[in-house]
Amino acid sequence: MRRQSRLIPLCVVGLGFGFASVVANAAAIQIVSQSVKANFADETLAFRIEFDQPPDLTTLGENGRPVQNFGYDIKSDATSGDLFDFDRAIRHQDAASTVVAFDRDIEGNLVKGRGPIDFTLNGNVVTFASTFQQINDTDGKFLYRVFATENGALTSDAVGATIPLPSPVWVGVLGLGALVLMRMRGLGSLFVA
């Protein structure tokens, strides 16, 4: 009987260590796909991030921030300077299902928080919407970097833009496609010496 009473606590401790090692060895979250779509007519933005696994955005680490997390850095003037000269940011800061939009001061510090902006986590996809005004943007045309972190360390990131391609680019793409099609059908020899 004594032997069994000692065995139970050892099994419980063993299971605890096993669970901790599984959690510690779990793969860090990675961004699979992402998008920010601007609706210029009603001045709204639709944000979407798909991760490789459902993220745990509610467990807080020692720093008080979610262990698995995401954020955006935004460069509102997409026509000048360096891509990484960010002047805005969107951050998920606590266990709530919200993000906050910030401006950046000259040293890059986050200032003037605006929010909260609710987000939805459905499986491994995070979505939220904001207005241009909520992120302190005037035209919805900006460059951005989206990133995922685990315990504060970067696990993946991606860059994108909400700037639509100018119409001459589409004409060029269609023209090139027509030339390729003509070449495939044997008509391309008319244009090649």
What burial letters (b/e) apply to 166-191, b meaning 16+ CB within 10 Å? eeeeeeeeeeeeeeeeeeeeeeeeee
Please state the φ and ψ torsions of residue 164, each to the nearest 5 degrees.
-70, 150
> What is the predicted pLDDT for the residue at 105?
86
- Give 71-139 as a DSSP string: EEEEES-TTSS-TT---EEEE--SSSSEEEEEEE-TTS-EEEEEEEEEEEEETTEEEEEEETGGGT-SS
Name the DSSP letter for residue 188. G
Residue tagged 């027509």 (tokens)? 178
> What is the predicted pLDDT for the residue at 76?
84
Q: Is 120 exposed, middle or buried (0-12, 13-18, 19+ CB in 10 A)?
A: exposed
> Other CB atoms closer than 10 Å to residue 44's CB: what's the count?
16
Query: From CA 61, how far away is CA 58, in angstroms rounded?
Result: 10
* 157: helix, strand or coil: strand
Tell me how far CA of residue 77 lies from CA of 81, 109, 192, in angstroms: 8, 18, 43
> Other CB atoms closer than 10 Å to residue 127's CB: what's the count?
14
> What is the predicted pLDDT for the residue at 63?
84
- pLDDT in single tens digits along all 193 residues of the chain: 455 554 444 444 444 444 443 344 468 999 999 999 999 999 999 999 999 999 999 999 988 889 999 999 998 877 666 666 788 899 998 888 999 999 888 888 889 888 899 999 999 999 999 999 999 888 888 899 999 999 989 999 999 888 765 555 445 555 655 555 555 555 444 444 4
> What is the predicted pLDDT for the residue at 36?
95
Domains of the chain by start residue, with CATH:
29-180 (2.60.40.10)
> What is the predicted pLDDT for the residue at 49?
96
Query: From CA 36, how far away is CA 121, in angstroms rounded?
Result: 16
In the chain, what's the furthest Cα-to-Cα distance?
A: 96
State pTM to two decimals.
0.70
Q: Which helix (H) or strand (E) holds 12?
A: helix 2-25
